[in-house]
Amino acid sequence: MSPRTCARLILALVTLIAAGCRDMYEQPKGDPLESSSLFDNGMLARPLVEGVVPRGALRDHSPYYTGRDQNQLVVQAPVPVTHDLLKRGQERYNIFCAPCHNQNGDGQGMIVLRGFKMPPSFHDERMRAVPDGHIFDVITHGFGTMYPYAQRVPVADRWAIVAYIRALQLSQHATLDDVPPQVRQELIQRQNESVPPADSPLPSQFPPVEEVRDE
């Protein structure tokens, strides 16, 4: 074997070993949000062409998707308000809204304390009087310095947040008479024993919300 053949063999072997090491790690396929030289803005993921409706996802003009009924903001959320919906709304509110609006809805959230323009408190008269559709509309399209949250909060969660904000508003203006009898006893007992309230603003025996809303 000439030295030249020998060198070629060694080179081939090294190439094979090196190739066997990594090439399956990076396969010629796109991971989510990977970059690509194929398109001008360098993104592999393509946005939908404007006006395209994915099959089965027609956002028609129903109050559920727009918060409006014949151009009027709906007064009441077009979803059944259940305990589960409120729990979901509480979770989503604390993720997406509480940074500015604060966990109790007074508009003194952490980001506001750091200098963001203060939003109105949910507990002032004007905010208590707005229709449910208004809150839905603001989450969807933003308002003033607040950016739209349509990309971050899906429609079902927006209605859950609306319901929870209503519960928050009620919580700041409720009297003992609004509390269902079985919970009332517990509250009075707690007050007498001055036991701090539980962590969750929603007691486990929270009454069906339809009852609460009618007041």
Partner 1 sequence: MAQVFYPSANTIARVTLMSLPIAIIVIVIAVRTASESDYVTGVNFAVDQPVEFSHEHHVAGLGIDCRYCHTSVEDSPFAGIPPTETCMTCHSQIWSDAPMLQPVRTSWETGQPLRWNRVHDLPDFAFFDHSIHIARGVGCVTCHGRVDQMPLMWKSQTLFMQWCLDCHRDPYPHIRPREAVFDMNWTPADNPEAQVALQAAHANIRTEGLTNCSACHR
Residue 152 binds to partner 1 (criterion: CB under 8 A): yes
In angstroms, the CA 190 to CA 196 distance is: 8
| Residue 37 touching partner 1 (CB under 8 A) | no
| Binding of partner 1 by 203 (CB under 8 A) | no
* 87, 200 Cβ separation under 8 angstroms: no
Site membership for partner 1, residue 12 (CB under 8 A): no
Percent helix, strand, coil in the chain, to 5, is 45, 5, 50
Distance CA 129, CA 207 (A): 23
- Output the smallest distance, CB 119 to partner 1, in A: 12
Place of tokens 């990309």: 151
Cβ neighbours around 163 below 10 Å, total = 26
Smallest separation, CB 12 to partner 1 (Å) = 23
Minimal CA–CA distance to 143: which of 115, 168, 119? 119
Query: In 95-204, which ranges are continuous DSSP H helix?
Result: 98-101, 110-113, 125-129, 132-141, 155-173, 181-193
114 lines the binding site for partner 1 (CB under 8 A): yes
From candidates 73, 111, 170, 202, binder to partner 1 by CB under 8 A: 111
Binder among 26, 60, 125, 215 for partner 1 (CB under 8 A): 26
Which region, judged by CB under 8 A, interacts with partner 1, from 49-57, 88-96, 122-130, 176-184?
88-96
Range in contact with partner 1 (rule: CB under 8 A) among 4-12, 40-48, 62-70, 167-175: 40-48
Binding segment toward partner 1, per CB under 8 A, in 24-32, 133-141, 187-195, 207-215: 24-32
Residue among 153, 167, 155 at smallest CA distance from 86? 167
Stretch of 33-41, 55-63, 70-78, 181-189 lying at the interface with partner 1 (CB under 8 A) = 33-41
Interface positions with partner 1 (CB under 8 A) = 24-27, 29, 31-33, 35, 41-43, 94-96, 99, 110-111, 114-117, 145, 147, 151-152
